[in-house]
Each structure stands twice: as structure tokens, then as C-alpha cells.
Amino acid sequence: MAPLHRPEPVPSPGGGSPTSPREPPELTVRLFERASRLHELGRGDAAWSAYSDVLDHAPGHPGALLGLALLAFQAGRLEESAERLRDAAQAAPDDPEPTRRLAFVLAQRERFSEAAEALEQWLAGHPPGTPELYLQCGSLHQHADEVQAARLAFQRAYLLRPDLESLAEDPALPEEFRTQLGHAMLAMRGLHGSMRERVLEEIGNDFPGGPLERLEAALAHLSGSAPARHERAGQRSRSVHMPGLEARPWHQASEFSWYAAARGLWPEIARECRALGDGWQARPFYDERGERYEDVWAACPATARLLDEIEPVELPPLRPAPLFSRLPAGTRAGPAFGFTNTCLIAHLVIDANDADRLTVGGEARAWVPGELLVFDETFAHSVSVTGPRDRIVLSLELWHPGVRAHEKAGLSRYFGLRRDWLTRARSGLETDPTPDRAPGSERDVAAAADGPRTPNGTK
């Protein structure tokens, strides 16, 4: 996941122009560059004239409209700034920036409900990809004393980015933004509690006698209501940690029942992968909805036979994870930590250089074509691809061998509830996944005004 940063409240004239509906002609590009330079130099009147020249040549140019909006804002003409931002939003309907900045300007006039409505109208027509806009919505509703709407917005932000708690602890983020993150987490506690209680009750009924303590602890860590109890130093599960699982950076590939099949099918799998051509970094077998890419399955019958032997990890909205992965020559990345210790990662190596290394928990191993590496990504891991060839593997996600059947079912069911809740929330429909249980009190969000409350777990 990419880092989350709080955007600046007003447009930066030197930061470039948002994409116009049509690529502007060369003259318009030069005019806009000149206007931006004048703006950066603080020559407001000249910049206003230059932005106006851009609009004469390219009516509806979003960058020019944003520049005029900023100049109006800096001059204290907030209504005019808002009108320019509305025009920019209309000119670039798929760009959230004009609407986000419009909400900021409206908030300066204490028109919090109107600002939140503008953001929500944009979100209603676009699939949400990052939680920033929902965090902004939550803060605006909170200023307007619209507690229920604030809670819902913060919940949506959290479900889009489950690792918000780790970001809330980042001292590099502005205090106001970390406070918003804290509000989002607090707003989710009641909802997580309802989901957790429902899952534990259902699993207890479906698997009589199955111990629930580890599953309950994993769900408590995910919801931020309890810290993770890591088994070894250097281990860090970013979102879900189940206690009691054997913790080691590397696992023996031969311990898995499908190991012999993977080794035997490797020549065919390698040929299928190479037949996919070049120019890609990932060729997944499932789309974001968890449905098969039938063309990839059809092109890779040997790979499909292997995948049919491996129990899939299904934690919606995370798709099943098998994919061919390519790292270009010269890549160096990490260290990083993984999502959960309930899963392991396996690499069936297709191609690599002799000096390429995968380092997990401080121990480096080589990618050797035809070999299988299995590791726990909740230990710090990093990669180094020396070249001249790209490193290519079949990457697989596996259940940790220590996770019991009822615990797998509980985790999958919990993430399914989260997915279904978010689907309904995006559609403006029912937002409580467990209607017979309250998802949290309005007092939760009101209490959040005191500041962020982050879990005390190891991050």
C-alpha cells in the first residue's frame, strides 16, 4: 500500500496542471506554464491575467480555473474562489481535487454540511480508491454536529485502508490529519465489535468445541481493541495477528502436500509464463472481485492444475493472490512487513540472476529457477534484483499450517462482512452489517473530539 498523506488545502500553482478533457494545443501549454511561473513569483495581478489568457484559448482549462480559484482565495474572495472550483470540477469530472478544494473553501465559510455534500456527490459517482476524501467528509460532518454522518464517513475511510492505525502513529503527518485518523479508528470500534461478536457466535455454532481464543485475539487486533502479541522480535503483522502460530521467517517448502506437484509441473509452468510475453509486472489469475481471468487460466493449464491443489486464501475484499510476478533488473525494495501472520507467501521461481536475493528476517536466500521459497512476510523482508535479467516467479498466498479450519472460516467470514458492509455503504444503503446489534454509539464519535486514540500494539 502506498503511504497516505494529507493534501494541501488549496491548489499549488507550480505543481502542474490537472488533465484537461482534451490535450491543449502547444500555445495553451506555454500560456499555462507562464501563468504558473508568475503565480509562483507572487505576481498575482499578472498571473490572473495570464490564467485568463489560457481560458481564452482553452475554455474550461482545469489548471487555469484552479489557479484563478487560488488567487481569489488568497485575496479573501471566497465565494468567487468557490465558483471557480465548481467550474474546474465540471471541466474535470473525474479529478477529485477541485471538489476537495471546494470543500475546504466552503468550510472556511463554516458551510460544513454543504462542503460534505459536495464531496459525497463526487464519491457517489466514482469508485473510492483511497480514504482521504472520507476522512475529510467525516471532519466536515463533525464540525456540523452531524454525528451519525461523521461516524459513517470515518468507518468508510477505515474499511478502505485497514492500516490507518499505523499511519495515525506517524509523527511526520500533520497533527490535524493524525487526529482525523484517530477519529476514523474510534468510529470503527463499535462496528468491528458487532462484526466480531457475530462471527464468533456463528463459528461457535458451526464448529462445536473449536477453541475460539486465538480467533478472538486476531479479530481484536484487527479492530484495534487489543495489541498484537508477537511471538518473536522483528515480527510485525500490519493488520491481523493470530497468537500461537509458529513464528519463523522461512518455512520448508517440502512440508506442503503440493510441493512435489509444483516441482514436477515447473517446466510446463515456466513455458506458460514465458509465453505470456514481456512488458508486464504482474499477471494475476483473479480480478479485484475474486473472479477468474479466464484468458489467463486458459493460457496456463499446468499452472491451473497446481492452483487447484492449493487451498485458496479468501479474505474479501482481498482477491485470491496467485499471480506471475516480475521485478525489473535493478530493483531494490524494502524492508517491509506483511498484512497477517495467518498467511505465508510462496515463490515458485521461473527466472532470476545468480546474485538476486530475497532477505527475510535478516536471512538472505537466492531465487533459483525451479525451486520453491516459502516465507512469512510479517518479518522484515527486502529484495535485490541485480540484472541483467528480470526476476520472475509464480507468487502464491498460503494459509499458515498452524491455522485451524474454524479459524480460517472465521477470518474469511469476518472479512466478508466488512466487504458487504462497504458495498452497501458505497451504495448509500443499509450500513449496519448486523442489524440486531448497534454498530456504535454517537457518543463514540463525540468522544473522539478529544484527539486520536490509537491501539497500543506493536507496529
Domain boundary among 354, 374, 399: 399
Asked if residue 312 belongs to a domain, the reply is yes
Grade residue 7 by pLDDT with cuts at 50, 70 and 90: very low
Q: Which of 324, 337, 241 is nearest to 279 (CA)?
A: 324
Asked if residue 442 belongs to a domain, the reply is no
What pLDDT shows up at residue 272? 94
Asked if residue 136 belongs to a domain, the reply is no
What pLDDT shows up at residue 227? 72
Grade residue 268 by pLDDT with cuts at 50, 70 and 90: very high
What pLDDT shows up at residue 171? 59
All 3 cell numbers of residue 186? 474510534
Render the burial of 12-43: b for 16+ CB within 10 Å, e for the rest.
ebeeebbebeeebeeebbebbbbbbebbeeee
CATH number at residue 59: 1.25.40.10
Q: Flag whether pLDDT at 187 surpasses 80.
A: no
pLDDT digit string (tens) for 19-63? 344 445 688 888 888 888 888 888 888 989 989 988 888 888 988
Q: What number of residues does the chain have?
A: 459
Grade residue 403 by pLDDT with cuts at 50, 70 and 90: very high
What pLDDT shows up at residue 166? 56
Q: Flag whether pLDDT at 300 surpasses 80.
A: yes
Give residue for cell 458487532.
194
pLDDT digit string (tens) for 329-358? 888 887 888 888 898 999 999 999 989 899
How distant, in Å, are the alpha carbons of 295, 403, 435 from that of 245? 37, 7, 34
Give the percent of the chain with pLDDT over 70. 76
Asked if residue 320 belongs to a domain, the reply is yes
Grade residue 392 by pLDDT with cuts at 50, 70 and 90: very high
Q: Flag whether pLDDT at 185 surpasses 50.
A: yes
Of these ranges, 139-153, 203-217, 442-456, the one predicted with the greatest mean pLDDT is: 203-217
Q: Which of 140, 164, 170 is nearest to 152 (CA)?
A: 140
Asked if residue 89 belongs to a domain, the reply is yes
CATH number at residue 392: 2.60.120.330
Mean of pLDDT values over 80-100:
88
Q: Flag whether pLDDT at 265 surpasses 60.
A: yes
Asked if residue 156 belongs to a domain, the reply is no
Please tell me the total count of domains within the chain: 2
Domain boundary among 399, 419, 435: 399
Asked if residue 355 belongs to a domain, the reply is yes
pLDDT digit string (tens) for 52-69? 988 888 888 988 898 998
Asked if residue 332 belongs to a domain, the reply is yes
Q: What is the rounded CA–CA span in Å between residue 34 and residue 54?
A: 10
Q: State which residues form the domain around 344.
A: 250-399
Domain boundary among 109, 141, 159: 109
